[in-house]
Structure 1
Amino acid sequence: MRITLLAAAFGMAMASSSAFACTTVLVGSEATADGSIFIARSVDSSSLNPSLLVMHPAAVNKAGSKYRGSDNPEKATFEYPLPAQTFGYSTGPDWDSHRYGGCGFNDAGLGVSATESIYASDEVLKLDPYEKLGIKERDIADVILAQAKTAKEGAALLGRIVETQGAGESFGVGFVDKDEAWYFEAGSGHQWLAQRLPKDKYFATGNQGRLQQYDPQSPDFMASATLVSWAQEHGFYDPKKDGAFNFAKAYIRNDDRDVTYNYPRVWQIQKMLTPSLKQDIAQGTSFPVFAAPEKKVTLADMKAILRNHYEAGELISHDPYSKGLRGDEPYRPISVFRAQNTHVLQVRPELPQAIGQINWFALGMSDLSVYVPFYQGLTQFPKSYSSATDEADDESAYWKFRKLQTLVMTDYPTLAPIVKQSFAEFEAQTEEKCRAFEAEYLKLAKSNPQVASKLLDDFNLGIANEAVALAGKLTNKIYTQRTKDIEAAAPFKNRKKND
């Protein structure tokens, strides 16, 4: 039975492993409890595809230097010219290619979360197909973070690339800086729309293009030059019949796959942040694109969203874990075992960039992982976070967490509470330590920036190492419990139970 459950866990992890499937949430500064701007996303691919954390130093580039989507010079792939100087930046890429950068900040203060896989309609793609050498999900974080300074500039640069060189697939991308956040969606091979996040609202999406409104006269929008005219010319938009232009209706796929795979996640997020909303879960296109939270959103709320698997509330019957693994559950949850990482990019404009921008990064399945803060001013990542392969090992942070999660999934109802309580205590302690560290950093930053930088490195690396050590300790604890369980189930002792 236990072997069967373990197999089921891996089966759930590998389902749809060839496709990227994420969940993204953006929250504006006036909608949060402390004035932070948040971009959160789960990176869901395969449990056997470890995520790393990598530093890319600032560089002076020779004339003609290019970013290349593949390190293989014989393989035709997306290329883009590099400026004379590129910013230093961080990413959370795949272990093998070091592409699919996923999330990070650059030295200019821009944060990017890339990407949310979305799907253009088949009819649109017949007329404006993806470009084989167009920009793909794997390229976006590295290209944008290397050279864009602001959220708006990053979205505009990506838009120019899609218009001129084309997109190799459809995607959604979040951009954030100290002032604002933007969300970008590619609707076909060369058409795109980006919208500024209203400061008092939040935005949630799960593998579906959700932007709708477009006002070319408003500074809150950017788009491809022919976004509306192309749709009208080819019969995807009729002003007389349709009224105002709707990007999602014109360009984005919407069919029965979205009803169970995508809509429930957005419905759940909006129910968590705006409980009074009454919505038909099967009518996802009617969900508000931007909504106001009923209470100011906190970092804890963002973590809870990424960890959600319908464990409470109206959709509790769709929880696929708490009463034993159910890989046949039709409603895809936010937290899935096959997640490579989940992250919350937090920007606090009132603080110096080095500590005001944090990537709260959790490896593997968010529900059974711990969020570790990585400050923008950190000059190096822990070695354990920067190396891993697709085979389990005893050194990498990824496999420390993944082995614990795999073991817990063999008896989730019994074992998950042990891990979740321990990680919750660690996160609470970490936030207290962060407040104390930040106060000390602020005292040093102006008078002795070098000492302040060393303090940041020492503190941040220490917290990360403590998290990895805790994962190892919990793994041993769970192994002990599993050993007791198996012995109790198959003791084979004599009647006196003494041999």
Structure 2
Amino acid sequence: MACTTILVGKRASYNGSTIIARNEDSPNNEYNPKKLVVIRPDEQPRRYKSVISHVELELPDNPQRYTSMPNAVAGQGIWGEAGVNESQVAMSATETLTTNERVLGADPFVELVPAKGTPGEEGYVPEVAGGIGEEDFLTLVLPYVHTAREGVLRLGRLLEEHGTYEMNGTAFSDADEIWWMETVGGHHWIARRVPDDVYVTMPNQLGIDEFDLDDALGEGRDFLCSADLRAWMAANHLDLTLGAEGLGADGVHARFNPREAFGSHSDRDHVYNTCRAWYMQRCLNPSQDWDGEYAAWTPESDDLPWAQVPERRVTLEDVKDVLSSHYEGTPFDPYGEIGTPEQRRRYRPIGINRQSQLSVIEIRPDAPKACQAVQWMAFGSNPFNTLVPMYPEVDATPEYVSNTCGRVTTESFYWANRVIAAIADPHYGDNENDVSNYRERTMAFGHQVVRETDAVVAAADAGEVEGLLEAANERMAASLKEETDKLLGKVLFTSSNLMRNRFSLSDH
């Protein structure tokens, strides 16, 4: 999946929360309808089989309830993508990453090998299942972990045992920590705790740019990895660090740059990946040197930092803005007028047409314990949608966000957003103000609902909390549907008046 991730540490966020956020984007010429649902313990499988790789796993008998953003149309697997469990641990899975030939030669992907021939006949070779991947991660991990760190360790064990057929980055968070985990080849992985005072930007490219092997293989305070990572790196000459400082007898440095060792710096990265990290960081650290021939960092820089301290605290609105962005204010904006036609199509926008869903999950340490987590969500192309809160500690989600199916209908929040974007896009400038006003109204109401609900929950008995949270979600969904219907009417009217077959002379 082509996605974009931003992570915000608790001392870098506007309210002291940990924030993990990711756009789920579908492959080119593919659109995956999504929904927000709650998976109850009795609905969690005890034996799981992947659609893509056919790998089968036995799962524990003690799953927690959790939210999920699965595919709404059956046939390709679950693809749960983002959610929060009863322990108020959040998971976002996954950001598809790049790698290089040296890594794949040293630890090839574990891919499905189809059967050959006919069972019972001479020469028949049975199927060999592949590993686990984005389709599976959330379902296999989130119901069973109680901290962000536990999430890393459980997924790590599964990767070491079953392998994977793709490179992926996965985020875990709780009220105290955020961890970012990257797969390396078929069975290896690394993870780093996000420092509390930074934000992290992740396009579809292996991102961690500093790693401490001694900590990862020792105390594991800020770094974790597969148990044999150092020996594997040594055997395959994967450490590209220069100099003798920190060099072990095996030829591997204690501190190294995973992006250089395991990642890529291709021409495709420059037009597809680095440009997105450049723009997100340009927005959150605007006083740094981003533009011009001699800028410190350009859209094609290979050394963009994985993490930066922002110039001010990062808000939910900032997260929504950068994950909806299309290089506004630069020559590279496809809706802009200051660049050449070639410049406006040079770089892959963050807010793109084939967005499926956006989940922005904040875990708030100062909120009532029963509702510390809020899963802010959006569907469809981000430049044309809004972000609204849903409390995950409920038994069911509102129909407007959970009723997505294969049929196009404006009674579904997903399809309403897709229709609005398609109508508004050809006349972006004419519709931009209405979309912006819609986003402001719905997000403001979302903040209001959260503030008022938190206050009610803080004074409520424990047995009342779930009902109060479900009522808050329904209140948000009802307002959201009303506002979305209004926006659809406005963009339809505006774009209808700009159709190419219009004619000013009328007989009325």
Structure 1 length-normalised TM: 0.87
2:334 to 289, 309, 320: 320
The AA in structure 1 aligned to 2:403 is S
Q: For the residues of structure 1 that align with 2:500 and 2:194, how far apart are their CA atoms?
A: 55
Residue 78 of structure 1, CA deviation:
2.5
Contact 1:228 1:245 (C-alpha < 8 Å) held by counterparts? no
Contact 1:88 1:107 (C-alpha < 8 Å) held by counterparts? yes
Q: For the residues of structure 1 that align with 2:194 and 2:500, how far apart are their CA atoms?
A: 55
Residues 101 and 352 (structure 1), Cα distance of their counterparts in 2 relative to 1, 3 Å cut: same
Deviations 1:200-240 (A, max 9, x none): 11111100011132223321111112223322322222566
Q: For the residues of structure 1 that align with 2:328 and 2:419, how far apart are their CA atoms?
A: 23
Residue 286 of structure 1, CA deviation:
1.5
Q: For the residues of structure 1 that align with 2:133 and 2:35, how far apart are their CA atoms?
A: 19
Q: Which runs of 4+ in 1 moved over 6 A?
A: 324-328
Residue aligning to 2:311: 294
Residue 391 of structure 1, CA deviation:
4.0
**Where in structure 2 are the equivalents of 1:390-401 lying within 5 Å?**
390-401=406-417
Residue aligning to 2:180: 183
2:147 to 150, 157, 162: 150
Residue 281 of structure 1, CA deviation:
1.8
SS state at 1:30 partner: coil
Deviations 1:379-418 (A, max 9, x none): 2111232233344224322111111111101211111221
1:253 aligns with 2:264: yes
Q: For the residues of structure 2 that align with 1:326 and 1:353, how far apart are their CA atoms?
A: 52
The AA in structure 2 aligned to 1:271 is R
Q: For the residues of structure 1 that align with 2:325 and 2:305, how far apart are their CA atoms?
A: 20
Residue aligning to 2:162: 165
Residue 297 of structure 1, CA deviation:
1.2
Q: For the residues of structure 2 that align with 1:170 and 1:61, how far apart are their CA atoms?
A: 26
1:452 aligns with 2:449: no
Residue 469 of structure 1, CA deviation:
2.5
1:489 aligns with 2:502: yes
Residue aligning to 2:432: 416
The percentage of aligned residue pairs carrying the same residue is 30
The AA in structure 2 aligned to 1:165 is H
The AA in structure 1 aligned to 2:331 is S
1:137 aligns with 2:143: no
Q: Which has the higher mean CA deviation after the structures are superposed, 218-227 or 228-237?
A: 228-237
* RMSD (CA atoms): 2.4
Residues 329 and 391 (structure 1), Cα distance of their counterparts in 2 relative to 1, 3 Å cut: farther
Q: For the residues of structure 2 that align with 1:326 and 1:390, how far apart are their CA atoms?
A: 36
Residue aligning to 1:195: 192
Residue aligning to 2:227: 225
Residues 488 and 188 (structure 1), Cα distance of their counterparts in 2 relative to 1, 3 Å cut: closer
Structure 2: runs of 5+ lacking an equivalent: 112-129, 216-220, 245-252, 290-295
Residues 76 and 176 (structure 1), Cα distance of their counterparts in 2 relative to 1, 3 Å cut: closer
Residues 485 and 66 (structure 1), Cα distance of their counterparts in 2 relative to 1, 3 Å cut: same
Q: For the residues of structure 2 that align with 1:206 and 1:60, how far apart are their CA atoms?
A: 33
1:341 to 354, 357, 363: 357
Residue aligning to 1:89: 66
Residue aligning to 2:383: 367
Q: For the residues of structure 2 that align with 1:128 and 1:61, how far apart are their CA atoms?
A: 32
Residue aligning to 2:37: 54
SS state at 1:198 partner: coil
Contact 1:178 1:347 (C-alpha < 8 Å) held by counterparts? yes
The AA in structure 2 aligned to 1:348 is R
Residues 147 and 141 (structure 1), Cα distance of their counterparts in 2 relative to 1, 3 Å cut: same
Residues 498 and 165 (structure 1), Cα distance of their counterparts in 2 relative to 1, 3 Å cut: closer
Residues 198 and 415 (structure 1), Cα distance of their counterparts in 2 relative to 1, 3 Å cut: same
Deviations 1:133-160 (A, max 9, x none): 2110111111111211111010111111
Q: For the residues of structure 2 that align with 1:319 and 1:265, how far apart are their CA atoms?
A: 12
Structure whose residues are more often helix by fraction: 1
Deviations 1:259-307 (A, max 9, x none): 1111111111112222233332255332222211111111221111112
Contact 1:113 1:141 (C-alpha < 8 Å) held by counterparts? yes
The AA in structure 1 aligned to 2:194 is L
Q: For the residues of structure 2 that align with 1:60 and 1:484, how far apart are their CA atoms?
A: 49
Deviations 1:421-464 (A, max 9, x none): 122122113312321222122111xxx23333222211211211
Residue 489 of structure 1, CA deviation:
3.1
User: How many aligned positions are there?
Assistant: 464
Contact 2:132 2:162 (C-alpha < 8 Å) held by counterparts? yes
Residues 35 and 238 (structure 1), Cα distance of their counterparts in 2 relative to 1, 3 Å cut: closer
Residue 61 of structure 1, CA deviation:
8.3
1:265 to 276, 279, 287: 276
Contact 1:109 1:353 (C-alpha < 8 Å) held by counterparts? no
1:123 to 90, 102, 114: 102
Q: For the residues of structure 2 that align with 1:61 and 1:397, how far apart are their CA atoms?
A: 25
Structure 1: runs of 5+ lacking an equivalent: 1-19
